[in-house]
Structure 1
Amino acid sequence: MLHGVHKIKFRKGKDAGRSLVKKALTDFVRHDTLVTPLKKAKVVKGIVDRLVGKAQGKTNADMRILLSMLNDKMLVHKMTHIIAPRMNGRVSGFVTMKRVGVRFGDGADMARLEWIIPPVEVKKPEKVKGEKKELKAPEKVEKKPVKKGEKKVAAKKK
């Protein structure tokens, strides 16, 4: 019996809980925001703080830990090259959690996770209005009429 240890547990068991957290973690890193039940948000927030610290280290061991948690090389690249430099100078507290309300279906308390420093959106250049490419109609190929007395000859096979 461990007195004073308050660990958040999920009902469906250890393995199912671990996969729930991994899925929520990858969704958060991919989309930069996550709306999830409060209990799961508290767990994900702590794990994200640890992973951003690993991403700032950039050693091979840290990269392997990130890859084992995120299961995607593109997300590891995003953590190390986009998110970690943006959080430069911070030791912890990379994620903020805001309560959203309750879920309509079952009344579960919901929370939104967001980065403390919002991501910079890159704007794509807009297309100039008024300039449209003219589409050309395909050229029609004329068929030669076959005379009544002639037969169509197929190519001989070798």
Structure 2
Amino acid sequence: MRHRNAGFKLGRNTSHRRALLRNLVTSVIVEDRVTTTVAKAKAVRPHVEKMITLGKKGDLHSRRMALAFLQTDTAVTRLFETVAPRYGDRQGGYLRITRKGFQRGDGAELAIIELLGAEKQLEAKAEKRAQVKADKRKKMEAELEAAKKEEGEGGNEEAA
């Protein structure tokens, strides 16, 4: 019996579960918002909160502990320089888990796990993506127009 045994097993063995949680924590810190299942979001919350607490301490030992858990150096740098200072006066509760709907394949309930106060950064990223998309569209339309114009000129010469 598993009475009073805390923790989420997530249907995985220990090493797989640890790798999954490390990947999710790294993604949340780097991206500010991640879509996953509700169970995984609830399981990853304490790990992300612990990393942010380490980032708030800011000493060398905390940085090394974060490096031991997080997957990339860029995640550690972002944690200590960007994410942790955002929560300097906050005593916990750095995440928001919002239920989103259901997964298409297996019907699992989806959730968005995001860092609080990241709305401005996320909006800026969305605007940048929209701008890049619009620029690509304009470039494609210009290339298409040039190709049509070229094809029209080439068609007249062939007919002559």
Task: State the TM-score, normalized to the length of structure 1.
Answer: 0.72
In the alignment, the residues of structure 1 paired with residue 34 and residue 43 of structure 2 have an alpha-carbon distance, to the nearest angstrom, of 13
Higher helix share: 2
Matches within 5 A, 1:86-125: 86-118=86-118, 120-121=120-121
Structure 2 spans left out of the alignment, 5+ residues = 132-160
Find the residue that maps to 2:113 and give its secondary structure. Answer: strand
* CA positional deviation for 1:82: 0.6
For residue 110 of structure 1, give the secondary structure of its aligned residue in structure 2.
Answer: strand
User: Is the 2:23–2:71 Cα contact (8 Å) retained in structure 1?
Assistant: no
Does the 8 A contact of 1:52 with 1:84 survive in 2? yes
The gaps in structure 1 that reach 5 residues or longer are 127-158
Q: Is the 8 A contact 1:53 1:91 kept in 2?
A: no
Count of residues in Structure 1 that have an aligned counterpart in Structure 2 = 125
Structure 1 counterpart of 2:60, one-letter code: N
- Identity across matched positions, percent: 25
Greater CA radius of gyration, 1 or 2? 1
TM-score w.r.t. the length of structure 2 is 0.71
**1:17 Cα deviation after fit:** 0.7
Paired position in structure 2 for 1:11 = 11
Find the counterpart in structure 2 of residue 70 from structure 1: 70
How large is the RMSD of aligned CA atoms in angstroms? 2.1
Give the whole-Å Cα distance in 2 for the aligned partners of 1:103 and 1:24.
Answer: 18
Residue 49 of structure 2: SS of its match in structure 1?
A: helix
Deviation at 1:77, TM superposition (A): 1.1
Shift of 1:2: 6.5
1:27-46 equivalence runs, <5 A:
27-46=27-46
Alpha-carbon displacement from aligned partner over 1:86-115 (angstroms, at most 9, x marks no partner): 111011100000011110110001110011
For the 8 Å contact 1:56–1:85, the answer to whether it is kept is yes
